């Protein structure tokens, strides 16, 4: 019997501890057991308190200072708190107190900046989900700062990765110490002083989201000092904020800023997880985005960033990943939760040995468990109350609502959030799907929740590339997607409308490529979706053909105009307003380089300057006119007898559409929003009135003559936006036929007097409501 076989037999049939093995045997570690791990044992800590969880600096009964440590580890047999000196020397303290399955202790003299971790002892019985292994140094799930890097190495796995019998490798415990390859938790000074912060508290109906990556947004910004680029301080710099205020966006939606690490397969290819959807610490700002170091400085820097954005009137929304962690599947690293209580934190499969994977990342947090719900809600409250953020976008939110029989909208997690006095008052956005059966839940989340509306994305993309035979679904998407969100008392702001996001083509690439080009990711172009609904307009990628370029730029204007004039909450993707390209890569999650960073030199090109200016103008127009950002769904009926409908649809002949028209093949649609028939009231209960607008869209290749509706809708019109480059400010009498260019859209404002024809427009560009 070989040493490997002997070790395996011991692991499979013995007490879970490997016997001694010779150095020549290749066994995972000398079998001295956990007691032989490096480190110096110290006297037990004082009892301390079981709450709050994590490490908190406190004043001791004798008046001295120290830190209280508390860790939930229900099935553990022993917990060692491990402190690390500046030279990396480890000192272990046994936590002997346990209250409500929480191990706790107080260490006098331990203060901010101290690095620590845990080693947790318990049964090794993978067949029942028990995977305790004290050889693995673990990050505190409640750590508010994390220092150091995760280095891919076999020793970080609880089981033996290179076991000669792969089918049972996950059952063989690896006793090698992982401390050299994993990060440390850091004690952070308590600082909850937000007296000088003014939250914008932007109403949902007035919100314009701007999705950005902290590092990618500032890495190439010429106005940000070089030492601040790629950091929270860089995003807080006036040069970065100026662009956001010039656009007029009301909130930034930050790609994950929870501390994250890169997967083993990326490290093997010399790449990193740039996007950050691989969380290790739910309370810790990612140290890699800090210009202030990783020993707690990242916490204060993040808070200062939030304050700076708030001072500019911009809310901060975090893209959060609670559906899975960086520990992956059974042969992934043991970095935190797996080693603390594997079966208590993760959803295990029916035989308890493997994992239920509804995320595509190897594991799924089990939010059916009260302590997991507590972990997630404690984290969310921390980011609101102590870090100052204004809301969250939940990655794969359906996984958080999975019960025993699929996705449940009365799930304990959703119930906990809905009744929480802090969380129920912030913005909550669901990515309403996961990768499991029945996971697609667009339109299914309860009130309080908004959702990424991918049906909006797909419909608008299909319309402008000319693949839809009629405009039935487009009508729903332009008017707030009432078919998805009206039931259950939800409002139009439940629909977060987007055409692009971080995941997929940039807007420029959407009109420049027919297929993905992800070769740089090192996965043979297999990664990333093939359902892009893109159109290169005659040439794949970059081209000098003036006709192709002209059409592409027109389509960019069409897509952005449609997005910003649709009812619901628009979300722009960083750089789309200035022509950012990833050169056809639709899954740039590992491209922490110039391919993934925003190229600010694009703004030196007049063409991209014009596109940026158009976005800013449309955002200002939206802000100025309540009719363009309705708080309630349209009724399509007269608000007063004999009056106008609040929403009307028109054919190119200038008549209202009939049911037959909705089913007839067409690429042309007119939508009139009546500002005089709004059902909304102001804060004093008075009827709210606004100007009226007519939006015309033509996805066909040929120009169309569109007859402008007459009485009772309008006496005249003036053109505010024409993506076919016609002169803005043109005036038109009602009943006149205007030429709507091929593949173009036009926004017209209703005027109270008949117009004689084109002429100067002294008020053009004011974008103010009537009577303002």
Residues identified as active-site: 395, 431
End-to-end CA distance of the chain: 89
Question: What are the tokens at 679?
Answer: 């059902």
Q: What is the DSSP letter of 727?
A: P
Question: 748, 706 in Cβ contact below 8 A?
Answer: no
Helix axes 454-464, 546-565, angle to 10 degrees: 140
Scored b (16 or more CB within 10 A) or e, 74-104 reads: bbbebbbbbbbeeeeebebbbbebbeeebbb
Pairing of strands 668-673, 647-650: antiparallel
**Are 308 and 388 contacting, i.e. CB atoms less than 8 angstroms apart?**
no
What is the crossing angle of helices 238-247 and 606-624, to 10°?
60
Nearest residue to 621 via CA among 240, 247, 211:
247
Alpha-carbon distances of 584 from 54, 476, 515, 557, 611, rounded to whole Å: 44, 30, 7, 20, 20
DSSP readout, 678-716?
---B-TTSPBP----EEEEEE-SSS-EEEEPP-TTT-SE
Closest CA to 595 of 511, 540, 526, 517: 517
Cβ atoms < 10 Å from Cβ of 695? 20
Q: Look-up: residue for tokens 């009546």?
A: 674
SS3 658: coil
Decide: residue 511, CB within 10 A, 0-12 exposed, 13-18 middle, 19+ buried.
Answer: buried
* Helical axes 370-385 vs 337-345, angle rounded to 10°: 120
**Strand partners of residue 121:** 78
Contact 198, 155 (CB under 8 A): no
Tokens 């916490």 correspond to 299
Closest-CA residue to 529 (of 551, 502, 491): 502
Q: DSSP E strands: which ranges in 88-142?
A: 90-95, 97-99, 102-108, 115-121, 124-125, 130-131
Residue with tokens 């349209």: 634
Angle (CA) 746-747-753 rounded to 5° is 120
The angle subtended at Cα 363 by Cα 339 and Cα 422, nearest 5°, is: 85
Length of the chain: 772
CB atoms within 10 A of CB 530: 9
Enumerate long-range contacts of 218-227, CB under 8 Å, 24 or more apart.
219/597, 219/598, 220/594, 220/597, 220/598, 220/599, 220/600, 220/601, 221/598, 221/600, 222/600, 227/291
Task: For residue 515, report the phi and psi dihedrals to the nearest 5 degrees.
Answer: -140, 160
C-alpha to C-alpha distance for 64 and 47, rounded to whole angstroms: 15
DSSP character string of 301-370: HHHHHHHHHHHTT-EEEEEE--S--TT-STTSB-SSHHHHHHHHHB-B-TTSSSB--SSSSS--B-TTSH
């Amino acid at each position: 019997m070989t040493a490997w076989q002997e070790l395996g037999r011991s692991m499979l049939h013995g007490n879970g501890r490997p016997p001694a093995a010779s150095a020549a045997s290749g066994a995972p570690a000398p079998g001295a057991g956990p007691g032989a791990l490096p480190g110096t044992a110290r006297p037990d800590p004082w009892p301390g308190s079981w709450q709050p969880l994590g490490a908190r600096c406190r004043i001791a009964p004798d008046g001295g200072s120290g830190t209280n440590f508390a860790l939930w580890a229900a099935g553990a047999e022993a917990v060692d708190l491990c402190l690390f000196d500046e030279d990396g020397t480890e000192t272990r303290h046994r936590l002997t107190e346990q209250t409500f399955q929480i191990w706790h202790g107080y260490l006098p003299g331990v203060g901010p900046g101290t690095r620590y971790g845990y080693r947790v002892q318990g049964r090794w019985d993978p067949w029942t989900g028990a995977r305790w292994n004290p050889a693995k140094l673990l990050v505190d799930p409640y750590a508010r700062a994390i220092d150091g890097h995760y280095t891919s190495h076999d020793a970080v796995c609880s089981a033996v990765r290179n076991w000669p019998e792969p089918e049972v490798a996950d059952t063989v415990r690896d006793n090698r110490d992982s401390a050299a390859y994993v990060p440390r938790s850091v004690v952070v000074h308590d600082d909850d002083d937000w007296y000088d912060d003014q939250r914008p508290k932007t109403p949902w109906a007035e919100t314009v989201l701007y999705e950005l990556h902290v590092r990618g947004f500032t890495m190439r910004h010429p106005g940000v000092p070089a030492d601040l680029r790629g950091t929270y301080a860089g995003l807080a710099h006036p040069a970065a904020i100026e662009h956001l205020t010039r656009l007029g966006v009301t909130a930034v939606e930050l790609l994950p800023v929870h501390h994250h690490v890169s997967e083993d397969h990326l490290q093997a290819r010399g790449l990193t997880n740039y996007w950050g959807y691989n969380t290790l610490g739910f309370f810790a700002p990612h140290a890699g985005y800090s210009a202030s170091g990783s020993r707690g400085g990242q916490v204060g820097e993040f808070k200062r960033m939030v304050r700076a954005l708030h001072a500019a009137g911009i809310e901060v929304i975090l893209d959060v990943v609670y559906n899975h962690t960086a520990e992956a599947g059974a042969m992934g690293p043991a970095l935190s939760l797996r080693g603390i209580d594997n079966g208590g934190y993760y959803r295990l499969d029916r035989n308890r040995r493997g994992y239920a994977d509804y995320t595509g990342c190897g594991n799924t947090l089990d939010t059916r468990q009260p302590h997991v719900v507590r972990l997630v809600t404690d984290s969310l409250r921390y980011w609101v109350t102590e870090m100052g953020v204004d809301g969250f976008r939940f990655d794969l939110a359906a996984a958080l609502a999975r019960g025993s029989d699929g996705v449940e909208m009365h799930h304990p997690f959703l119930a906990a959030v809905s009744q929480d006095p802090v969380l129920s008052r912030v913005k909550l956005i669901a990515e309403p799907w996961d990768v499991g059966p029945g996971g697609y839940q667009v339109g299914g989340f309860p009130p309080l929740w908004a959702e990424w509306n991918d049906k909006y994305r797909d419909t608008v993309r299909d319309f402008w590339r000319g693949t839809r035979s009629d405009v039935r679904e487009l009508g729903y998407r332009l008017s707030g997607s009432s078919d998805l969100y009206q039931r259950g008392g939800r409002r139009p702001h439940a629909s977060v409308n987007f055409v692009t996001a971080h995941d997929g083509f940039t807007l420029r690439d959407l009109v420049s490529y027919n297929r993905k080009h992800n070769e740089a990711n090192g996965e043979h172009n297999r990664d990333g979706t093939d359902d892009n609904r893109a159109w290169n307009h005659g040439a794949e990628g970059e081209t000098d053909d003036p006709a192709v370029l002209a059409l592409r730029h027109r389509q960019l204007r069409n897509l952005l105009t449609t997005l910003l004039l649709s009812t619901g909450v628009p979300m722009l993707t960083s750089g789309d307003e200035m022509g950012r390209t990833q050169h056809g890569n639709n899954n740039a999650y590992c491209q922490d380089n110039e391919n993934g960073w925003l190229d600010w030199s694009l703004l030196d090109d007049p063409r991209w300057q014009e596109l940026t200016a158009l976005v800013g103008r449309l955002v200002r127009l939206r802000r100025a006119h309540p009719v363009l950002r309705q708080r309630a769904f349209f009724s399509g009926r007269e608000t007063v007898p004999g009056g106008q409908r609040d929403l009307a649809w028109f054919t190119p002949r200038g008549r209202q559409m009939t049911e037959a028209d909705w089913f007839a093949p067409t690429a042309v649609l007119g939508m009139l929003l009546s500002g005089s028939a709004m059902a909304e009231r102001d804060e004093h209960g008075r009827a709210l009135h606004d100007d009226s607008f007519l939006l015309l869209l033509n996805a066909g290749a040929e120009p169309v003559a569109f007859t402008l509706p007459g009485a009772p809708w309008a006496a005249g019109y003036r053109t505010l936006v024409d993506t076919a480059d016609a002169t803005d400010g043109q005036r038109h009498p009602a009943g006149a036929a205007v030429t709507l260019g091929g593949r173009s859209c036009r926004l017209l404002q209703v005027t109270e007097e008949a117009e004689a024809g084109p002429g100067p427009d002294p008020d053009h560009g004011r974008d103010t409501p009537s009577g303002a």
